[in-house]
Amino acid sequence: MCRRRASRRSDEIVLPSASDHTTHLPEGEITVAGDPAAVEQPQPRSTEGFQASRVLTLSLAHAVHDTYGSFLAPLLPSLIAKLSLSMTQAGLLDFLRAAPSLLQPVIGHVADRVSLRYFVILAPALTATMMSLLGVAPRYTVLVLLVLVAGLGSAALHAVAPAMAGRLSGRSLGRGMGVWMVGGSIGFALGPILVVSAVNFFTLEGTPWLMIGGWIASAILYVRLRDLPQLSPPARQAGSWRDALQALRPLLAPLVGIVMVRALMVSAQITFLPTFLIQEGSTLWFAGFSLTVLTGAGWLGALLGGSMSDRVGRRVVLFISMLSASVLMLLFLAVSGWSRLPILLVMGIMGPSVRTVLMAMVQENCPDNRALATGLYLALTFTSESGAAVVMGALGDLFGLRVAFTISAIILLLGSPLARLLPER
């Protein structure tokens, strides 16, 4: 079931016996009274404390994976020029990259029952290989195939690892989700500057060499995670899809609303920022550096947003973050040149805090099906944001990216009160 359970001491488990008295057994030795031969599987290891080293390892996997996952946006200007792509085609690539995220609930449902840690281990190598080959793709159809396969690696990682991090965070769930998101923010910050530097030094044809880092990372993760114990509840205790949806029902309407109103803004920031800046006269290096500033600041937003929401409440942090991001986007459009960088820095802090807090809320409401619930949320998020990339590209073709960016800011501004509709912790 997905209802919150009362906490137990981690050193003993209490079960009623046939004679109506309690039997105290060490963890992992559960015997049903009256049937000494009946021995059940051990309960998952207690995670009351914050297991920092393991959470940091998962955050490292996130960082390496998202370094390669962030290659598409800074490569788009070069790919548009090389293959004569329209803005709509460019936006469709981002949508297709996220399309496999629709599988995340299924992967998460399985991960709530069996260990899928090898998905986390292999994801950086798979995504690194596919994204590093974008620069040598000879035609649009090859780009489509590469981003689809990379999306499978992303779906596997993001369905499994956040739930693992949540279980290893004990009661500090907001903090744990913040540390997990820090990895993604660091990766998204490193990726653009890494791939733009590779293009500047070696041209597009030199990008395949970058995949080596992903394979090295997967080898390191294998050593670090191969002995990680099973953290999911036994299959008999893990709830069904119906249980998860029932537990998430109080969140569902405002959650969907928040994801939708943020989608265009996220697409503007992540997918089309380099293209917009180049259209405004910036160099490829400055465009890539600007994306690094935006995404690099995300680690602070993820960490502060998660920790602050543990203290002052999830809704307060969400409302402030959404309102601030919309105002900052309008301010960003009103200035030019290097003066945009401080605005991007603050904007980068505000954005990731929203996803961190929403992920914590989803796991709070479904503690026994964390991977399934996280998969449902991330599938909704990734597909919405990538679908918005297609819309953003179409708006850019029709009216220009400046108008499209303005529309995204206004929609988020009008939708920020949705945060007040979420149930407070």
Q: Are 101 and 123 in contact (CB under 8 A)?
A: no
Query: What pLDDT is stored for residue 40 in this prediction?
Result: 40
Query: What pLDDT is stored for residue 113 in this prediction?
Result: 63
Which stretch of 55-69, 201-215, 305-319 has the lowest confidence by average pLDDT?
A: 305-319
Q: Phi, psi at residue 146, to the nearest 5°?
A: -65, -45
C-alpha to C-alpha distance for 298 and 348, rounded to whole angstroms:
5
Query: What pLDDT is stored for residue 323 in this prediction?
Result: 93
| pLDDT, tens only, 272-282 | 999 999 999 99
Query: What region, left, alpha or beta, does residue 424 occupy, with left being phi > 0 and alpha being psi -120 to 50 degrees?
Result: beta
Which residues, at least 6 apart from 348, have a Cβ–Cβ distance to it below 8 Å? 185, 293, 294, 295, 296, 297, 298, 301
- Across 306-330, b (16+ Cβ under 10 Å) vs e yields bbbbbeeebbbbbbbbbbbbbbbbe
Query: Does position 127 have pLDDT exceeding 90, yes or no?
Result: yes
Residues 348-373: what's their mean pLDDT? 79
Residues 155-170: what's their mean pLDDT? 81
Query: Does position 285 have pLDDT exceeding 90, yes or no?
Result: no
Query: What pLDDT is stored for residue 164 in this prediction?
Result: 80
Q: Residue 61 is which amino acid?
A: A
Q: Residue 23 CB: number of other CB atoms within 10 A?
A: 16
Handedness of CA 409, 411, 414, 415 (dihedral sign): negative
Query: What pLDDT is stored for residue 177 in this prediction?
Result: 79
Residue of 415, 350, 388, 376 whose CA lies nearest to 266: 388
Give bridge partners of residue 23 from the DSSP assignment.
Answer: 15
Block residue for tokens 């329209």: 86
Query: What pLDDT is stored for residue 333 in this prediction?
Result: 96
Which stretch of 14-28, 220-234, 380-394 has the lowest confidence by average pLDDT?
A: 14-28
| pLDDT, tens only, 72-125 | 989 999 999 999 999 889 889 988 888 887 787 777 767 656 666 788 889 999
Which residues, at least 6 apart from 52, have a Cβ–Cβ distance to it below 8 Å? none
Query: What pLDDT is stored for residue 20 in this prediction?
Result: 45
Q: What is the mean pLDDT of the chain?
A: 80
Selected residue with higher pLDDT from 55 and 135: 135
Residue of 71, 176, 173 whose CA lies nearest to 132: 71
Confidence of residue 3 (pLDDT cuts 50, 70, 90): very low
What pTM did the predictor assign? 0.65
Could you tell me what percent of the chain has a pLDDT over 70?
Answer: 82
Query: What pLDDT is stored for residue 398 in this prediction?
Result: 94
Spelled out in words, what is the top-level CATH class assigned to the domain 52-421? mainly alpha
Selected residue with higher pLDDT from 215 and 359: 215
Name, of 18-22, 165-169, 188-192, 245-249, the range with top average pLDDT.
Answer: 188-192
Confidence of residue 229 (pLDDT cuts 50, 70, 90): low
Query: What pLDDT is stored for residue 68 in this prediction?
Result: 95
Query: What pLDDT is stored for residue 72 in this prediction?
Result: 92
Which residues, at least 6 apart from 374, have a Cβ–Cβ distance to it below 8 Å? 104, 108, 158, 159, 162, 163, 166, 359, 362, 363
Q: What is the 3-state secondary structure (H, E, C) of the chain?
A: CCCCCCCCCCCCEEEECCCCCEEEECCCCCECCCCCCCECCCCCCCCCCCCHHHHHHHHHHHHHHHHHHCCHHHHHHHHHHHHCCCHHHHHHHHHHHHHHHHHHHHHHHHHCCCCCHHHHHHHHHHHHHHHHCHHHCCCHHHHHHHHHHHHHHHHHHHHHHHHHHHHCCCCCHHHHHHHHHHHHHHHHHHHHHHHHHHHHHHCHHHHHHHHHHHHHHHHHHHHHHCCCCCCCCCCCCCCCHHHHHHHHHHHHHHHHHHHHHHHHHHHHHHCCHHHHHHHCCCCHHHHHHHHHHHHHCHHHHHHHHHHHHHHHCHHHHHHHHHHHHHHHHHHHHHCCHHHHHHHHHHHHHHHHHHHHHHHHHHHHHCHHHHHHHHHHHHHHHHHHHHHHHHHHHHHHHHHCHHHHHHHHHHHHHHHHHHHHHCCCC
| pLDDT, tens only, 21-66 | 444 444 444 344 444 444 444 444 444 577 888 888 888 889 999 9
Query: What region, left, alpha or beta, does residue 415 occupy, with left being phi > 0 and alpha being psi -120 to 50 degrees?
Result: alpha
| pLDDT, tens only, 406-415 | 999 999 999 9
Query: What pLDDT is stored for residue 367 in this prediction?
Result: 74
Query: What pLDDT is stored for residue 405 in this prediction?
Result: 95
Query: What pLDDT is stored for residue 244 in this prediction?
Result: 65
Output the six-digit token pair for 396. 């850019």
Confidence of residue 230 (pLDDT cuts 50, 70, 90): low
* Helices and strands in the chain: count of H runs, count of E runs: 16, 2
